[in-house]
Structure 1
Amino acid sequence: MAYEIRPSRPLDAEFRKAALAQVDRALADLRREDGDLHETIHEARKRFKKLRGLVRLLRPADEDLYKALNASFRDGARRLSGARDKAALIEALDSLGERNADQLKANSFASVRDKLVAERDEAAGEEGEIKRSVEEASAALEQARSRIEAFQIGGGRHQPKKAARLLAAGAGQTYGRARAALKRAAKTRDADDLHELRKRVKYHWMHLRLIAPCWPEAFAPAIDLAKTIADDLGRDHDFAVLRAEIRADPAAFGDEETLSLLLALVDGYQSELRTRGLAGSRRLLVDDAEAFSEKVAALYRLSAEEAERTAMPTEAPEADRRSL
């Protein structure tokens, strides 16, 4: 099922549909016995993040439900984070090598990669430890299922005006936080502030996807831009973490010549990623939060009204009725 909320349906039913689909897919990922373990965990973690984005959008409808589900999904993803976080550093290093392939000898950063692979495997732990983490994450999903299934707004009736207000409030809050994060990150260009901007833009990306059925053609460019920003700033964060690890214990990663070359290339790439991420964020978040919220509410109401008119039986024109 699509990760979306259709204005033509009751909001609570759409929430349940989207949330349960992600729960089922995450459980399927965690229960897979074939394929790459690290990729399996990566896919499951993405489901947890989508679930957190979804409950954040519906937060104004039920604060208690939001707190319970958000904590459950956050903790479930955290249990799977160790090996995946290390794997992301390997992917970042590989992307740097591919980007500069014409300037580098084969396996230029082999010592760094070997160290990262060893750290990843150590973080994954023994087979029994991995199994426990997967079981705990699966249990968090199963426990959330009953709460999701019981969620209702107004007895399950389709109330477009109320739904529009709730969605506008939820999406607007996330949008406002993204703008605040942009203001700070643009001022400091600090790694932690850029990472915070990335997290807020990622939630905004999820919300854009969820409300896109209101006007798919108009939302598509913003969805693509938000994804690009999140990817760029996510990669920047990977390099910031890698840099910190190397500085903490340089001898463990290789000789001085290798690390000097690596960090010089990282500097150049991070500068490009940050410049691109900030420029994209300024375009993505150009409206103030109130204007964005009002737009979401208006588009949802219009789309719901159009769906209702489409579903109504077509009435014969006046002249045709007189001739009957």
Structure 2
Amino acid sequence: MGFAFTRQRNIGKQVRAIAGEQIDKALAECEATGKSLDETVHGLRRRCKKMRGLLRLIEPHFKDFVLENRAFRDAADGLAGARDSAVMVETFQALLAKDIQRGTKARLDAEQAGRVLRRLQERLGEAAGSGDGRDLLMAFAGLMRAAGKRVEDWSIRGSGFSRIGDGLETTYRQMREGMQAAMEDVTAAALHDWRKDTKYHWHHVSLFEGCAPELLAGRKTLLDDLGELLGDHHNLAVLDETLSGERGLAGSDIMAVQKLIVERQAELAERAFALGRQLTAEKPATLRRRFEDYWVLLPVEK
């Protein structure tokens, strides 16, 4: 059925089916060949994020939310080490590409950039050689099988649209509040918290997209754009922290990159706030009513 609701009735059954399908796909990806460990881990972590987004939608009416949310969070965290070093290399390369576009005004010279990139690549190699990727995937698969059995017994209290409408409204409200908090305190931590609720709302729009695809596709795309801006900001913060504790580089090289990070983060934050203000213009109760109007466009049975 994909990651989307397809009919008005049997919300609980649909939620269980959506969750079960995500888990089945995750298990298939654990067994698949032809992809690198990094690609596989990236895909599996995205599955976990989808599951946590689905859980946020039903949270007000799902007594096992804390247990299940923690289970999928911990499963994703167990894969983090296999992905983080690769993200740092990608983040620095993207930062370097932006700097190169400055031409003669570039902050980093070629030698500095080469030294930093080599050290980050060395860290990636060290991380890749520190454990057995197959064991990592097998452990993750075990957690997913256990979750799959629990999903069969998931029960959502209440009736009607409120079973998902309450979670939709709450998450969107948190997204708005997160943006306001980040605008008042423009720190990496505040923007990262805002990003989490933005991504959850993006997942919720994905779940509702089948109700009014022509109307919701655009919002979903813009939320994805916002999530990317905030994700890039967070990755730069992690890169900054990584370099701060790096003993294999000269202080001058680290400081040069950190100055570039600060400039780039300021650009990303400015763009994120401009887009975020548009995406949070509606009041939470208004957005909820709009989505409930979309909901009745779905067939009753399918």
- RMSD of Structure 2 on Structure 1 (CA): 2.3
Counterpart in the other structure of 2:273: 278
Structure 1 gaps, min length 5: 155-160, 312-324
- AA paired with 1:45? R
Q: Distance in 2 between matches of 1:202 and 1:253?
A: 35
Counterpart in the other structure of 1:140: 143
Cα deviation 1:226-262 (Å, max 9, x = unaligned)? 101111111111111111222333x523461x44443
Q: TM-score, normalised by structure 1?
A: 0.84
Q: Distance in 1 between matches of 2:136 and 2:95?
A: 31
Q: Is the 8 A contact 1:59 1:170 kept in 2?
A: yes
Counterpart in the other structure of 1:11: 11
Counterpart in the other structure of 1:109: 113
Change (3 A) 1:18 1:114: same
Q: Is the 8 A contact 2:156 2:163 kept in 1?
A: no
Counterpart in the other structure of 1:315: none
Q: Is the 8 A contact 2:168 2:204 kept in 1?
A: yes
State the aligned residue count.
297
- AA paired with 2:152? E
Superposition deviation, residue 30 in structure 1: 1.8
Counterpart in the other structure of 1:263: 258
Q: Distance in 1 between matches of 2:249 and 2:219?
A: 40
Counterpart in the other structure of 1:321: none
Counterpart in the other structure of 2:85: 86
Please point out which of 222, 230, 235 is paired with 1:233: 230
Change (3 A) 1:261 1:139: same
Please point out which of 203, 206, 213 is paired with 2:203: 206
Alignment of 1:91-240 (within 5 A): 91-102=90-101, 103=103, 108-128=112-132, 130-152=133-155, 162-240=159-237
Cα deviation 1:103-149 (Å, max 9, x = unaligned)? 36657522222222232333345343x33332221111101112222
Change (3 A) 1:218 1:107: farther
Counterpart in the other structure of 1:288: 283
Superposition deviation, residue 270 in structure 1: 1.2
Structure 1 range deviating more: 261-270 or 177-186? 261-270
Q: Distance in 2 between matches of 1:126 and 1:267?
A: 32
Q: Distance in 1 between matches of 2:84 and 2:178?
A: 23
Q: Distance in 2 between matches of 1:172 and 1:303?
A: 19
Counterpart in the other structure of 1:303: 297
Identity of counterpart residues, as a percentage? 28
Q: Distance in 2 between matches of 1:177 and 1:254?
A: 42
Structure 2 gaps, min length 5: none
Counterpart in the other structure of 1:253: 249
Counterpart in the other structure of 1:48: 48
Superposition deviation, residue 174 in structure 1: 0.8
Q: Distance in 2 between matches of 1:222 and 1:253?
A: 43
Q: Distance in 2 between matches of 1:9 and 1:114?
A: 55
Change (3 A) 1:61 1:99: same
Q: Is the 8 A contact 2:58 2:167 kept in 1?
A: yes
Q: Distance in 1 between matches of 2:55 and 2:156?
A: 14
Q: TM-score, normalised by structure 2?
A: 0.89
- AA paired with 1:110? G
Q: Distance in 1 between matches of 2:84 and 2:131?
A: 18
Superposition deviation, residue 50 in structure 1: 0.6
